[in-house]
Amino acid sequence: MRDVLMLRRTFALAAQGPQADPNPRVGAVILDAQAHVAGEGFHGGAGTPHAEAQALAAAGPAARGGTCYVSLEPCNHTGRTPPCAQALIEAGIVRVVVASRDPNPIARGGLETLRRHGVEVVEGLLAQESRALNREWSHALITGRPFVTWKFASTLDGRVAAADGTSRWITGDAARADVHARRARCGAVMVGTGTVLTDDPALTVRGPDGELAQRQPLRVVMGQRCPQIRADARVRSDEAPTLLLPTRDPAAALAELAAREVRHVFCEGGPTLAAALLREGLIDEVVAYLAPALLGAGAGSLGDLGITTIEDTVRLIPTDVTQLGRDIRVIATPRRHTPKESC
């Protein structure tokens, strides 16, 4: 029971770390030899002390003979910071309880190092909860590409714009505030050139008062019409960093973002970009905001997938349905992807 309680405490600590970071969120708790809490810590982002190092610093000499609880396997390599596995050994920790292993081939191996030095290791308790803390980060490490969330807002009949091209605002304040909160948790916001040329979006994160948030995700514009984007376009402002990718290849775009250590991409592109990603099996989550409104004409939310029969429908598994003001937010994951086609 104590192990479970202490691991849940590490999850709560880990959740205080930044989501949109190249590194995982990790929490750690040190108990002294008498099983009293001696120190706690969480990872605050790339380049800052790891959770175990913070907890050890707080515990000081009381760590000797004690137990370390940590939400993710202690790292086993020297990167921006020293290896945590070695730090635990040098501090005299005799028992380590870990929720899940590190999928990073560069950092993993800490548990084996601990065992070789006589430290008792318990692993696998609450592993699913631990993985949920770093869903996007783990996906990026395992697949080699960022986790992709496709977000769109539409009327009940699937229109994202009226026949004259106007689209502001289909949804209400609560839904738009939710979008800003979700943008803030991503490493990049991506759209196609068509969206920029038509809507001139800012793609920034703002608070309820309209003020610019301190941290802004990378704004990514993908498409061969990047040279047509005006110098005074809002996406070129100095409010946030911007990357123009003059390609129609979604996989190439995601590879470039992976090389920049982007773990989670929030796709707010129009129907063409969404269809290109979906055809390639590159959408991992759909966040749809549905307004109780009807247009009857205008642009649809998704471009042509090449589907000609109901049997080939891309089915989604709903994971959350929430009312936001008058609108409905549906979160779902693809059940399966259609065969790949060229863009």
Say if residue 11's pLDDT is above 90: yes
Burial grade of 343 (CB within 10 A; 0-12, 13-18, 19 or more): middle
Whichever domain contains 8, its CATH number is: 3.40.140.10
pLDDT category of residue 174 using cuts at 50, 70 and 90: very high
Question: Do both 29 and 49 map to the same domain?
Answer: yes
Say if residue 324's pLDDT is above 70: yes
Question: Do both 221 and 319 map to the same domain?
Answer: yes
For the stretch 115-141, what's the b/e string if a residue is b when 16 or more beta carbons lie within 10 angstroms of its beta carbon?
eeeebebeeebbeeebbebbebbbbbb
Question: Do both 57 and 206 map to the same domain?
Answer: no
pLDDT at 21: 84
In a domain, 77, yes or no: yes
Question: Do both 291 and 208 map to the same domain?
Answer: yes
In a domain, 23, yes or no: yes
In a domain, 200, yes or no: yes
pLDDT at 45: 87
Domain membership of residue 124 as a residue range? 2-134
Say if residue 300's pLDDT is above 80: yes
Question: Do both 116 and 263 map to the same domain?
Answer: no
Question: Do both 202 and 307 map to the same domain?
Answer: yes
In a domain, 278, yes or no: yes
Question: Do both 60 and 159 map to the same domain?
Answer: no
How many CB atoms are located within 10 Å of the residue 168 CB? 9
pLDDT at 82: 79
Q: At what angle do helices 271-279 and 250-259 cross, to 10 degrees?
A: 80
For tokens 């980060």, the residue is 137
Question: Do both 74 and 182 map to the same domain?
Answer: no
pLDDT at 339: 40
In a domain, 37, yes or no: yes
Question: Do both 298 and 218 map to the same domain?
Answer: yes
pLDDT at 341: 38
CA distance 143 to 282: 11
How does the average pLDDT of the chain come out, rounded? Answer: 92
pLDDT category of residue 210 using cuts at 50, 70 and 90: confident
In a domain, 195, yes or no: yes
Q: Is there a contact between 75 and 85 (Cβ–Cβ < 8 Å)?
A: yes
In a domain, 343, yes or no: no
Q: Which of 70, 106, 104, 108 is nearest to 88 (CA)?
A: 70
pLDDT category of residue 336 using cuts at 50, 70 and 90: low
pTM (global) more than 0.85: yes
pLDDT at 340: 42
* Mean pLDDT confidence for 102-131: 92
List pLDDT tens digits, range 214-234: 899 999 999 999 989 999 999
Say if residue 78's pLDDT is above 80: no
pLDDT category of residue 335 using cuts at 50, 70 and 90: confident
Q: Which of 34, 121, 17 is nearest to 74 (CA)?
A: 121
Residue that finishes a domain, picked among 134, 162, 179:
134
User: Measured between alpha carbons, how far is residue 113 from residues 75, 141, 186 in Å?
Assistant: 10, 22, 33
Residue that finishes a domain, picked among 80, 106, 134:
134
* Mean pLDDT confidence for 298-327: 92
Those residues whose C-beta lies under 8 Å from the C-beta of residue 166, and which sit 6 or more positions away, are none
pLDDT category of residue 343 using cuts at 50, 70 and 90: very low
> How many domains in the chain?
2
Question: Do both 76 and 184 map to the same domain?
Answer: no
Active site residues: 52
CA atoms within 13 A on the CB side of 163: 4
In a domain, 204, yes or no: yes
Whichever domain contains 294, its CATH number is: 3.40.430.10
Q: Select the more confidently predicted residue: 108 or 9.
A: 9
Question: Do both 105 and 166 map to the same domain?
Answer: no
List pLDDT tens digits, range 135-164: 999 999 999 999 999 999 999 999 998 998
Residue that finishes a domain, picked among 134, 152, 179:
134
Question: Do both 116 and 182 map to the same domain?
Answer: no
